[in-house]
Chain A
Amino acid sequence: MRERILAIIEKNSRIDMRELAVIMGEPEIDVANELKKLEEEGIICGYHTLIDWEKTNIEKVSALIEVRVTPQRGQGFDNIAERIYKYPEVNSVYLISGGYDLLITLEGRSLKEISQFVSDKLSTLESVLSTATHFILKKYKDHGTILDKKNEDERMKITP
């Protein structure tokens, strides 16, 4: 049941409890209990909305930043990751394998704001060895959703 709930609400977190129970073919009370447990256990960590900011007139810039750091004895990367993710403008922080250590995604109002964050805050952290900033020019697909998808039904309206 867990896996089925997660599969559905990962794509549609706005679905109401009653409808969720109906489409799963399970009693509403069981679904509600399971969902509550998933939240309590921190498996469901939040409900967010996917917004295509491009279509608004609000200016937003996002960037991917590769960071190479020196891991600290006994702490590994956790300490430095924490120092970085505490900044509210940081959207996500991943520890990754490959040529660098941390991948950060960041949102700001302008290029300047992001550059300033990198030069003033990120680069000056003691264990940060180097950074490489990539500005995102266009989002085609985000969180499994194609942002500019046409939703026209091209099928004939009646077929046997």
Chain B
Amino acid sequence: MRDPLAKQVVELKPSGIRKFFDLVAEMPEAISLGVGEPDFDTPWHIRDEGIYSLEKGRTFYTSNAGLKELKQEICNYIKRKLDITYNYNSDVIVTVGGSEAIDIALRAMINPGEGEEVLIPQPSYVSYEPCAILAGAKPVIIELKNENEFRLTAKELEDAITDKTKILILPFPNNPTGAIMERKDLEAIAEVIEKHDLFVISDEIYSELSYNEEHVSIACIPGMKERTILINGFSKAYAMTGWRLGYACGPENIITQMVKIHQFAIMCAPTTSQYAAVEALRNGDEDVREMREAYNQRRRFLMHSFKEMGLDCFEPFGAFYVFPCIKEFGMTSEEFATRFLNEEKVAVVPGTAFGDCGEGFLRISYAYSLENLKVAIGRLQRFVEKLRAEKQ
């Protein structure tokens, strides 16, 4: 029999997080700080709309790009939050989570096999690199640095660009570092983007979880909207991960091609989720504010605790992760995380799961109640003290 498999799929590295997942699975009593989704339930009024839509028998396909009401609400929301105007009819597509939007944006823009390069700042979410490869692009990693608080600088961007570079993926607020890009940071890279005629896929799924100031999108910077696919969704802001609903907004010519792929591969995003999402956008601002405040309290607690135990960690202002540095212990991230799991029964994710440059760091999620965090951080303190004693 012939080999049934596609080489480029076989050669894809499995997600680095998988290995750790298996370890933790064998230890059911472990406390986990390794989750990348909110601990809140979807607010009841949103769930209720989903239920209501089922009761009403709204169980059919929607149009490919999504329900008209939902696309309109998405445009209203973006206008309200970012003061950017998109046409609901031509510039928006509702997708199966932000993940699908990333995938189809890349596939709509890359000519496979022509060596087109996609810039991927890391540490970052695990799917950008494989999606770029599957789309037929050459992923080029930009290693972000702790001393820049893991922001992307114009210099780093400039240095990574070749005459093959076509797309920059911009993942802020960032998973796993919690880093954000402020307006001035975005303005600095916008110049480079324009100069080299690049396009941007801006993954802003954590936009509502910005703690210092209101989130700014690269699409807000003059000249950038025309070259940006803005991706967002409902998972993080409204605690709706399982509903699998995201969206992309961008120039009509790109969105049209994305809708084409989506129409053949997916048909449409889940109808129930779309009705629930309309309710989220219409009446969910207060829920988002409350959840953001709860996350922010936990974030402050963690930063305070790290300071007290002398653990090096830049202050992250986005998402629900902190990314402390563990280089002082002379171990790899994986060694540290494995020992921490075995000795203190707490699961954190090694920074290397999000790119090689995550070496020496850990991702700690604060999508957990303060009570849980207190217990886990107590154990971290004990562990850190033990390691320091060992070193002496």
Contact = CB atoms under 8 A, between A and B. Distances in A.
Interface string B21-44: 100110000101011110100000
Contacts of B298: 23
A157 B24 contact: yes
A150 to B, nearest CB: 12
Nearest to A20: B297
Contact of A22 (B20, B35, B37, B300): B300
A156 B17 CA distance: 12
B124 to A, nearest CB: 10
15 contacts: A22-B300, A23-B297, A23-B301, A25-B300, A155-B39, A156-B21, A157-B25, A157-B30, A157-B34, A158-B20, A158-B24, A158-B34, A158-B347, A159-B37, A160-B36
A159 B300 contact: no
Interface in A6-23: 7-8, 19, 22-23
Contacts of A153: 39
Nearest to B38: A155
Contact of B36 (A19, A22, A25, A159): A159
Interface band, chain B: 20 to 34
Contacts of B20: 158
Interface string A31-61: 0000000000000000000000000000000
Interface string B291-315: 0010011101100100000000000
A108 B268 CA distance: 58
B353 A23 contact: no
Interface of B: 15, 17, 20-21, 24-25, 30, 32, 34-37, 39, 125-127, 175, 293, 296-298, 300-301, 304, 347, 349, 353-354, 370
B334 to A, nearest CB: 13
Interface string A135-160: 00000000000000000010111111
Interface of A: 7-8, 19, 22-25, 153, 155-160
Nearest to B298: A23
Nearest to A4: B293
A67 B383 CA distance: 61
Contact of B301 (A8, A22, A158): A22
B35 A158 contact: yes
B25 A19 contact: no
B17 A22 contact: no
Contacts of B126: 160
A77 to B, nearest CB: 34
Contacts of B25: 157
Contacts of A22: 300-301, 304
Central interface residue in A25, A157, A160, by most chain B CB within 10 Å: A160
Given A19-B301, A23-B300, A158 B21 contact: yes
A159 B297 contact: no
B375 to A, nearest CB: 13
A155 B37 contact: yes
A25 B297 CA distance: 8
A152 to B, nearest CB: 12
Central interface residue in A19, A157, A158, by most chain B CB within 10 Å: A158
Nearest to B368: A153
Contacts of A8: 297
B347 A157 contact: yes
Given A22-B301, A156-B21, A158-B347, 9 more contacts: A155-B35, A156-B35, A157-B35, A158-B20, A158-B21, A158-B32, A158-B35, A159-B37, A160-B126
A2 to B, nearest CB: 15
A25 B293 CA distance: 12
A40 to B, nearest CB: 26
